[in-house]
Chains A and B, each alone.
Chain A
Amino acid sequence: MKISRSILFLGISVLTLGSTLNFNNVPLFFMLDYQPNAAYDSHPVGVYNEEDFMEPFEFNLMTENNRPVFYSSSLRTTVCDDEVCEIMHIRLFWDLVGNYIGYDTLAGHPLTKFDHEPFTGEDYIKLHQLLSNDGSILKFKTKDELIDKEKIEASDVVDGTTGATALEIREEVVEGALYSSYTIWHIAYKGNIKNMLTSHTDSIYNEELKEYFLTSQRSDYELFALRKFTDGDFAENRSFLIRSLKEGIPLLRKFILKDMPDSIWGEEKLQGQICELFPMMDVNSRTFLLEKLMDSQKVHGKSLVSLSREMTEMNKNQLIVYLKILNNQEELGRQTMDNVEKALSDHRFQYAYLIDEHLDPKFGH
């Protein structure tokens, strides 16, 4: 997840303002387009609680002109080390499929470190950077592992990140706010919260939201919409399919190829168009496409021609699958055979020998 320019700008404004926290209702960090003048309506969608929470977290869906935009929760949570607990106030934001997108302070409750020193502007930015990192090292640590207790010295502050905190952790968390960083990161990435928010989106999903998701250019929204496609949706959204196979994330490509109904996949034109995209796909999508063709009842000549042009770009096992697909054909067209011959005689092609080994002699190459 990348931090947009606007967020960086907001971050810088925090720096210059120091600890003054008057942001005219614009969240400190927010990774969707936030319209400062828009009227966002808040709708309670549920609460989430765990045994050791000081109180349940309440969640709200924020809408603009009745269109769902994001989820928000203003929460109070305890931040504890072995001996002392402090209360932390913060507002967290998630997108409509439960991904962290930003945070804000609550009025009268600027963030503080464990020694009660206020967060600096840099600390606020650091916290957002940490929360934006879904692969943070905090994921792998239990609270007990944050501090090497054998190295604690009397001078270390309780929530300090000096001395006893492992270097790898220290680099990621807000200095002096180790346990706060840990606590908030684990709330932002709590699977049960993500599931709850995604389920709610699912419950209100409609045509309007589908259109919004399909044009959002957010991978997770596109993926969510795709997974709910009917056969009719596949038929009506060919341009989305092609664009996504070309530019989407590999996981989206996989599900398009996996979920596409045979009636659509069997269309000569569309299948050919998709095979034309082979060179633009990542290595795993290429493999998945070849395997799908291998399992397909009908592989069109155009598809074979497109892929024959890419033989020298295939990996060893991809080439073997492609040659099996060719072997499954009664006969091959002139263009395909020409490209096969060309690949076979290409001295720079490291797998040319596989063509000899695997292509059925019936084609007389």
Chain B
Amino acid sequence: MRKIILVLLTCFLCVSIQAQNSSFLVEAESFDQPGGWVVDPQFVEQMGSPYLMAHGMGTPVSNAFTKINFDQKGKYHVWVRTKNWAPGDWEAPGKFILKINGRPLDNTLGLNPGWGWEYAGEVNIQSNNIKLELEDLTGFNGRCDAIYFSTVDEAPPRNLKKLAEWRRNISNEASHPEQIEEFDLVVVGGGIAGCASAIAAAEQGMKVALIHDRPVLGGNASSEIRVHTLGIYGHFERILKMLDTEHYPNGSPEAYQDEKKRHQNVEKYKNIALYTNWRAYDAITEGNMITAVDARHTSEGKRIRFKAPRFVDSTGDGWIGYWAGAEFMYGRESVDTYGEAYEEWGELWSPEEADNFVMGSSVLWRTYQDEKEHEFPDVPWSNEIVGQHAATEGTWKWELSRLDLHQIDDAEEIRDHMLKAIYGSFYNTKQKPGTEKLKFEWISYLVGKRESRRLEGDYIFTFNDVTEQRKFPDSVVMETREVDVHYQQNLLDESKPDFLSEAIFYKTPMYYIPYRSLYSKNIENLFMAGRNFSCSHIGLGGPRVMRTTGQMGAAVGLAAVICEKYGINPREVYTDHLEEYMGLIESQKYLDLIEDKK
């Protein structure tokens, strides 16, 4: 790995010297040794790149290192792309410095609001091989996207569009990936739905690519987010038991055990090519068909074009559909759009006029009593959000939705808001007697989303399908889990913190989801499985939990098999081959053993 990065960086250098006259860019996420810094690729579409973050929970993390080769000695100006994530009349929480061969540059970094280039200082490079080092000063989520060296005193552009173009130029990147891989089915998103989809298709002999932008599988159920799976197994108990979790409290480290199980099971399938740490960034289309999905490694920067006759969008945010031009929905429909009233809950359940007040995102966290005492610093940048609220853990109620925040476009702000809420609530707890030994055990730095884009299928699943327990000829998913829609507590009581939610439960007998909600209505070879399936805002309230989304995944994986067999698109499975498809699903119940495809 290290070798590859060195080569890559050398290439950057060679290319950039030609293009920019002794200027080059080092992407922070490609550092040889990230130390205690973590790679955060969640917000690439909003701020332009994965970045390194010092997620130290209040304790400075160990330094990140990398070595780079300079062909040309001399004086360089150095800029760092970073941001002050909590600006105000206090010291910036995420401060860090850049060292070159062990010597710090002049300026402390992480001081200015918004993603932009901060001037780190000037450095006189006198040797070819130098060591770059990021030193975290706070432990409070300092972040570094890239480091730019130039003999010319001119910072790269701040504007996101201009920056993207500038980045393409300086890296001399081709317009599309040169490496091309071909599969029978490409599944994007390694949450429970994506994994189930890959397994179901692979078991029938298909060659599947499973692309996931994290190192571990499971999405919201992974050890990185730690939400337990809920719902029933439906037709797919065997497959879903390979992937789901026990019913431990949300946030529990027991998630690791289930994650290990999940990986062992997915990796058993020789015909699943697992691409962890690869983030899709585009869908290539011809007419209404996707021909390929392009993805980039989250730290190494290399790219692959994934070609297949069919694709599954299990990204959660519906990115593949979005890039391909699939019709999609976002926000809460008006109560009259589908007639989804829940009388006693009125506006909190479904609004009179459509709005964007969707269910929010959570960031879970835990503390523990250590054997020794621990200080925790003042966090004045959290006061405005937290007030006097004190807590020692974050449950599902730690959720943020706001009318002015988009769950995709503003996801970084949502995550950062939750971090402020967590640090501030913990600080308040630490002021109480008896908390001297209390310490953070874990804080997720990933946004655990409930709802964002929903791709539109031939059928839009709504609350009425639940209340009427409507059965379909293509009922492929079944569920008994309550329809559970959240609202922010401060809508009814302004004194409540804005990061806490409340749930409305609609208890129900069995309800069903038709296959027609699991493929795009206008992109002909696109399936969707997971929370981005075709449903209304209220329709998502029940089946957004992960055994249900896993059922969707498995159903879609098997539909892809029928598509492959006849060379048809997903819609034709419903119109022309439904009996065979439903028979294939039914047969899943009678398969007792995991067939080892090795």
Contacts and interface: CB of A to CB of B under 8 A. Distances in A.
Interface of A: 98, 134-135, 139-140, 142, 191-192, 194-195, 198, 219, 249-251, 254-255, 258, 282-284, 286-288, 315-318, 348, 350-351, 353, 357
18 contacts: A139-B503, A140-B482, A140-B503, A140-B505, A195-B343, A195-B344, A198-B344, A250-B490, A254-B347, A258-B353, A284-B402, A284-B488, A287-B404, A317-B404, A317-B410, A348-B88, A353-B114, A357-B159
Contacts of A254: 347
Interface of B: 84, 87-89, 113-114, 158-159, 342-345, 347-348, 352-353, 357, 402-406, 410, 413, 482, 488-494, 498, 502-503, 505, 507
Contact of A282 (B88, B405, B494): B494
Given A317-B404, A318-B404, A249 B498 contact: no
A249 B344 contact: no
A249 B489 CA distance: 11
A134 B503 CA distance: 10
A316 B87 contact: no
A98 B498 contact: no
B114 A350 contact: yes
Contacts of A250: 490-492, 494
A191 B491 contact: no
Query: 3 closest A-B pairs (Cβ-Cβ)?
Result: A350-B113, A191-B344, A287-B403
A32 B186 CA distance: 62
Contacts of A195: 343-344
Given A288-B403, A350-B114, 9 more contacts: A142-B507, A191-B343, A194-B344, A250-B492, A254-B347, A283-B402, A284-B403, A318-B404, A353-B158
Choose among A255, A288, A316, A318 the residue with the greatest number of B CB atoms under 10 Å from its CB: A316
B490 A351 contact: no
A318 B402 CA distance: 11
A348 B89 contact: yes
B404 A249 contact: no
Contacts of B405: 315, 317
A140 B345 CA distance: 16
Contact of B87 (A284, A317, A348): A348
Contacts of A316: 404, 410, 413
Given A219-B492, A250-B491, A282-B490, A287 B402 contact: yes
B258 to A, nearest CB: 20
Contacts of B402: 283-284, 287
Nearest to B484: A140
Contacts of A357: 159
A351 B342 CA distance: 40
Given A195-B344, A258-B353, A315-B404, A284 B491 contact: yes
Contacts of A282: 490, 494, 498
B344 A251 contact: no
A251 B348 CA distance: 9
B91 to A, nearest CB: 13
A134 B344 CA distance: 13
Contacts of B345: 191
B561 to A, nearest CB: 37
A258 B347 CA distance: 12
Contacts of A134: 502
Contacts of A286: 404
Given A249-B492, A250-B490, A251-B492, A98 B502 contact: no
Contact of A283 (B158, B348, B352, B498): B498
A314 to B, nearest CB: 9
B404 A283 contact: yes
Contacts of B482: 140
Q: Is the interface of B mostly helix, strand, loop or mixed?
A: loop
Contact of B494 (A192, A249, A255, A353): A249
Contacts of A135: 489, 502-503
A351 B87 CA distance: 10
Contacts of A318: 404
Choose among B158, B404, B494, B505 the residue with the greatest number of A CB atoms under 10 Å from its CB: B404
Contacts of B490: 250, 282
A123 B444 CA distance: 39
A283 B403 CA distance: 8
A249 B502 contact: no
Given A258-B353, A315-B404, A351 B113 contact: yes
Nearest to B493: A249
B358 to A, nearest CB: 13
A139 B87 contact: no
A105 B157 CA distance: 72
Contact of A251 (B353, B491, B503): B491
A351 to B, nearest CB: 7
Contacts of B158: 353
A139 B344 CA distance: 15
Contacts of B342: 191
B74 to A, nearest CB: 32
A336 to B, nearest CB: 21
Choose among A142, A284, A316 the residue with the greatest number of B CB atoms under 10 Å from its CB: A284
A244 B486 CA distance: 25
Given A139-B503, A140-B503, A258 B87 contact: no
B566 to A, nearest CB: 44
B323 to A, nearest CB: 23
Contacts of B347: 251, 254-255
A238 B500 CA distance: 33
A139 B494 contact: no
A249 B404 CA distance: 18
Contacts of A348: 87-89
Nearest to A219: B492
Nearest to A349: B113
B590 to A, nearest CB: 29
A137 to B, nearest CB: 10
Contacts of B502: 134-135
Choose among B158, B342, B490, B507 the residue with the greatest number of A CB atoms under 10 Å from its CB: B490
A348 B90 CA distance: 11
Contacts of A198: 344
A254 B344 CA distance: 18
B505 A139 contact: yes
A45 to B, nearest CB: 17
Nearest to B348: A251
A287 B404 CA distance: 6
A249 B503 contact: no
A166 B402 CA distance: 33
Contacts of A350: 84, 87, 113-114
Contacts of B352: 258
A316 B410 CA distance: 10
A142 B482 CA distance: 11
A134 to B, nearest CB: 8
A140 B482 CA distance: 9
Contact of A249 (B89, B353, B491): B491
Contacts of A194: 344
A149 to B, nearest CB: 14
Contacts of A249: 491-494
B408 to A, nearest CB: 13
A219 B490 CA distance: 13
A284 B400 CA distance: 12
A362 B63 CA distance: 49
B482 to A, nearest CB: 8
Contacts of B404: 283-284, 286-287, 315-318
Nearest to A139: B505
Nearest to B83: A350
Nearest to A1: B493
Contacts of B494: 249-250, 282
A316 B507 CA distance: 38
A361 B492 CA distance: 41
Contact of B344 (A98, A255, A258, A284): A98
Nearest to A142: B507
A357 B195 CA distance: 42
A192 B498 CA distance: 29
Contacts of A255: 347
